[in-house]
Each structure stands twice: as structure tokens, then as C-alpha cells.
Amino acid sequence: MQRRVVFVVFDGFQLLDLAGPADVFAAATLVARADGYGIEVTASRAGAVTANTGITVAAPTAIGDVTGEIDTLVVVGGLSVAGHLPDPVLTGQIARLSGLARRTASVCNGALLLAEAGLLAGRRATTHWLAAADLARYPQVAVDADRIYQRDGDVWTSAGVTAGIDLALALVADDHGGRLARDVARGLVVYLHRPGGQSQFSAAMRARGTAPDESMRELLAYIDSSPGDDLSVPALARRAGLSERHFARVFAERTGLPPGRYVERSRAEAARRLLETTDHPLDRIARETGIGAPETLFRVFRRLWRVAPGEYRRRFATH
């Protein structure tokens, strides 16, 4: 039998929060067929619901009329979420449907609706980075705004907008394994989902985007392209023509990360790419990326992405 997926929408919702995950579930159904997904859309009232783009979608059933077992409940987000938080009927019905569901998920700031419904109390959750402070106002929620998605038991939350696609791929992988999730990702021409949650943006993207001058951007590009080189603070300071103390201060001010932490993240991401695209043994990957030893590679992966390198490769290798 197909798994029943119910999306909760509302006026002003983010269209991609619905369309992205729905396309993932639909693509998985093409492959899994009888063991795929049946998609339903519901809202406070039955009928047309207008997204933030002005496009309308049909909600055949009012949320109060939805009954029966649900496999996955997905609450979307959007700029209008704040206006819907005071609606006790909507949040009450979300809580009721969650009780009927095997698992509950939110996309983007839809996490605020889950929190308002009391579904995130005592749980770790993520959301769009712009909404992280709003989610943190719920004192019983442990907010981790640096994740693409977060799973805490039977409740899943995701970061902003397109991260809903990563979330849906994670749900498919949880149901059917990594191979089907990879096939779906390739079919939709999106990046493979990362396991266990990871930074919303890579260290390189964050730092390059905030570095205000060309010399710093060039230095960051050098670090990212040369993970096996000597990237110690003394070596980088010499390359930048600064004293070590001044370099460390300037680097942190301009990128938001201490140089050692940036180098570690950059090397870990280089190792992640090699795990995805090569058959190199772990000791070679650790050596070529400047991480050193397989034991260090393991510790870095567990700390940053909460997964062992070998498990990451088994689930997400593309070669």
C-alpha cells in the first residue's frame, strides 16, 4: 500500500515548500510504485489556497475533516506563518493530525507552527536561519539553525525553502534506503542529500560571501583548492603578509570563523567529496585532504555531520 503523505498549507504559504517535497515523493513513487506515496493537501478550509506567488492550489479536504492513519504529516512554511500562529484552530488541528501520523515534519518556518502546536517541546529542531531567533522564543525547543534538516525521534524539521527537498529525500531514504533517494535526486537534478544534518551552507560559501576584500577571497579559494598544503596559521599568515596574531584576528573578523575552524571544515568537505566520487581508502583520503589519519577523519565527520565516513560512503557514493 502507498504511504499517505498529508501536507498542511495556508494562505501565503511558500509554494516551493509544497512543490519540492511533493515532487520528491512523486518521483519516488514512479520507482517504488505500490510502495510509494499518496499525496494529499489540506488547509483550514477546503477549496483554493493562494501561495505567496499568487498561484492557487486545491485543498480538497478541510483540515478538521481529515481522518484515518497518516504516514507522514508535512507542515509547510512561508512569510505568512506569523499571521497564522495565533490561530488555535489551525495549530490544534496540526497537533491532532500529528497524533494520527507515524511521523511529523515541517519545512522552513513551518517549524513555528509545530512549536505553537506543542510538538517540538523537549526536541531539537531547525528552521530557516532567518526564523531561528523566532523559534528560540519557545524555551522548550533546542534550536540548531545550522542544519539542513534535523530529526528528533518521529519529528523532522528542515531549513529554508529548498531544504524541504533535502528533507523529503531523507524521508525517502529512511523508508526505502539510500539507493532510491540517490535515484530520485539524480532524476530531479538536485544535490544528493547529506546524512544526519549538516551546515546549511558550506564553510567556504559562508566565508567567501562575507569576506569584504579580494585578497581574503583569494586566500579562501587557495585553502579550499589546496587541502593537503600546510594551512597552519603561521603558513597562512605568511601568505597574507601579516603577523600571526593580526592574521588570526583579521581572518575571524572578515569570515566569521577562526582560521583553524575554517580549515577543518574546508578539509572535511574535500574529504566528503572524495568519499562520494572515488574508491580511495580512508587513509588516502585523510592524507590527501590534510586531515592526517583515518581516526581523525572519523572524529571530524562524527562531530560535524554525526556520521562515520564509511557509512557516509555506503549511503551516498555516486561512482
Nearest to 150 by CA among 181, 179, 124, 117: 124
The alpha carbon of 214 is separated from its chain's Cα centroid by a whole number of angstroms, namely 30
Active-site residue 108, yes or no?
yes
- Residue 46 cell numbers, joined: 477546503
Instruction: Identify the helix (H) or strand (E) that includes residue 39.
Output: strand 37-43
Q: What are phi and psi of 157, to 5 degrees?
A: -130, 155
- Residue 9 cell numbers, joined: 498549507
Burial of 150 (0-12, 13-18, 19+ CB in 10 A): buried
**Annotated catalytic residue within 15, 28, 32, 108:** 108
The DSSP result for 137-178, as a single string, is TSTT-EE-TT-SEEEETTEEEE-STTHHHHHHHHHHHHHH-H
**Can you tell me the distance from the alpha carbon of 10 to that of 94, in angstroms, rounded to the nearest whole number?**
12
Catalogue the active-site residues. Answer: 108
